[in-house]
Amino acid sequence: MLNVIPIADALGLVLEKFGSKTGRIEHVSLEKALGRYLGEETIAQEDVPAFDRSTVDGFAVRSSDLRGCSDSIPAILEKSGESIMGLAYEIPLAPGNCVYVPTGGAMPPDADSMVMLEFTEDLGGDQFAFYKPVAPGANLILRGEDLQQGEAILKSGRKLGVADIGTLAALGKTEVPVFSRPMVGIISTGDELIPPGENLKPGQIRDVNTDMLKAAVEKFNGIAISRGIVEDDYEALKESCKALILDVDVLLVSGGTSVGEKDNMPRIVTELGEMLVHGLAVKPGKPTIIGEVEGKAVFGLPGNPVAAFFIFDYLVKPLLLALQGGKVETEQVEARLSRAVSSNHGREEFILVHLEGNEAEPVPSKSGLISTVSRANAYFIIPREQEGLPKGALVKVTRL
C-alpha cells in the first residue's frame, strides 16, 4: 500500500529540497533572450535618453520668451538654426531665438520647452510668430527621464517579455545573463508501449508520455533528453536511470511507479538514492514517486498520461521555473460549475473543465484518456474534505 501525502505538501518538499539551489547562469544574445529568466538584476549603465529630446516637430524655445503672448499679441522669435537628427546641437539658445527640432532631435542648451510647428506662423525672413505661452518642460523628454544611470530596471528571475527585450536594447545590453535551461531526462517504461510511429499489435498502446513530457519540458525552457521506451525490466530500467541522471538536473520516469510486481521504480529509486515520497492523495496521480539520486530530483510519474500531465503541471513545472529563478504565475479565475461533480472523500481530485465566460463545464474523463485534456481548457481541484460540488458552485479554475 502507498503511504499517500497531500499534493501541496509534496510541492513544498520538492521546492524546498531541490528548488532552492541557484541555477547556473549563462549569457545569451538579446535575440535569444525572449522567454528566458533574467540571471541578474539589470542596472542602467547610462542615462536614457542621454540628452534632452523633443517629442514633437517644432521649435525649441525659452518659455520665458513666450510669457504673455496671445492671438492678438504674438511673440516673435528668430530661428537661429536647426537640430539635425542624430547630432548634438551645441550652440546655446539665445533669448529671442528659436531652433527647429524634429521629433526625437536634440534640444539646444538653454532651451526649456518645445512648441509644435502647427502652433507657429512663418512670417518670412526666419521670423516666427508664437500665439500661446508654453510651460517649461513641455513636449520634451529630459536626459535620464526614461532611465537614470545606476537605476535598477529588471529584477533577477524575471521572465523576459517583448517589452523587456526593447528595454534591454535601449540600455545597450546585447548579451543578457539568463538562468541556464534545466536539463530534464525522460524515460517511459511499460512492456505494452510502442513508439507513436509504429503499427499497433493487439495488447499494445502508443507511448504518449515521451512526446508529451518533452513538449512540457520545452514549454518551460527545459532541455529534454529522452531515452524513449525502456522495458519493464529491473536491471535495464535501473541502468538507464543511473546513466541518465548524470547528464540531467531532473529525471522523469513514467510508468512502473505503483506497488505491483512489475513496478520497478520504487526499488530502483531506493537503491540508487532515497525515496522521499511514494504516493499522493490525489486523483489522478496517486502512484507518484519523488526521490533524490545524486542530489538530483527524480520523479516517478504515473504511466497514465492524464495523471502524468497533472503531476508534471503541479510538481515538475514549478521546480523547472524555480531552477531558473522564476515562479509559476498562475492566473486562477472564479467560475461557476455548470453541473454537479462527485469526488471521493480523503483525497483531492483534478477536474477538467471547459471554461466559457465564467461557466465551467466539467469534461468527463476516464482515467488515462489524454484526448479528454485536449477537450478541456482549464481545471480545478476538489479539496480533500469535500465529497463533491453541486451545480452552480464557485470554483477557482486554472487555465491550461
Sign of the dihedral defined by the CA atoms of residues 231, 232, 237, 241, in that order? positive
Contact 38, 155 (CB under 8 A): yes
- The phi, psi pair for 260, rounded to 5°, reads -75, 175
Contact 266, 289 (CB under 8 A): yes
Q: Is 205 in the site for its own copies (CB under 8 A)?
A: yes
326 Cβ contact list (under 8 Å, min separation 6)? 37, 157, 158, 159, 179
Q: Look up residue 34 and give its amino acid.
A: L
Window 256 to 285, contacts with its own copies (CB under 8 A): 258, 260-262
The nearer residue to its own copies, 272 or 350, going by C-beta atoms, is 350
Q: Is 207 in the site for its own copies (CB under 8 A)?
A: yes
Q: Is 152 in the site for its own copies (CB under 8 A)?
A: no
Q: Is 91 in the site for its own copies (CB under 8 A)?
A: no
Stretch of residues binding its own copies (CB under 8 A), selected from 25-33, 91-99, 265-273, 289-297: 25-33
Q: Is 156 in the site for its own copies (CB under 8 A)?
A: no
Q: Is 249 in the site for its own copies (CB under 8 A)?
A: no
The nearer residue to its own copies, 25 or 369, going by C-beta atoms, is 369
Residue of 123, 16, 31, 113 lying closest to 77 (CA atoms):
123
Window 102 to 121, contacts with its own copies (CB under 8 A): 102-106
Window 316 to 355, contacts with its own copies (CB under 8 A): 331, 333
Q: Which residue has the cell 527647429?
A: 100
- Minimum distance from CB of 376 to its own copies (Å)? 8
389 Cα distance to chain centroid: 32
Q: Is 122 in the site for its own copies (CB under 8 A)?
A: no
Stretch of residues binding its own copies (CB under 8 A), selected from 13-21, 165-173, 245-253, 380-388: 165-173
Task: Supply 142's cell numbers.
Answer: 529630459
CA distance 19 to 322: 5
- Minimum distance from CB of 127 to its own copies (Å)? 20
For residue 43, what are the β-bridge partners?
152
CA distance 27 to 140: 36
Q: Is 73 in the site for its own copies (CB under 8 A)?
A: no
- Minimum distance from CB of 21 to its own copies (Å)? 26
User: Total binding residues for its own copies by CB under 8 A?
Assistant: 91
- Minimum distance from CB of 294 to its own copies (Å)? 27
Q: Is 174 in the site for its own copies (CB under 8 A)?
A: yes
Q: Look up residue 166 and give its amino acid.
A: G
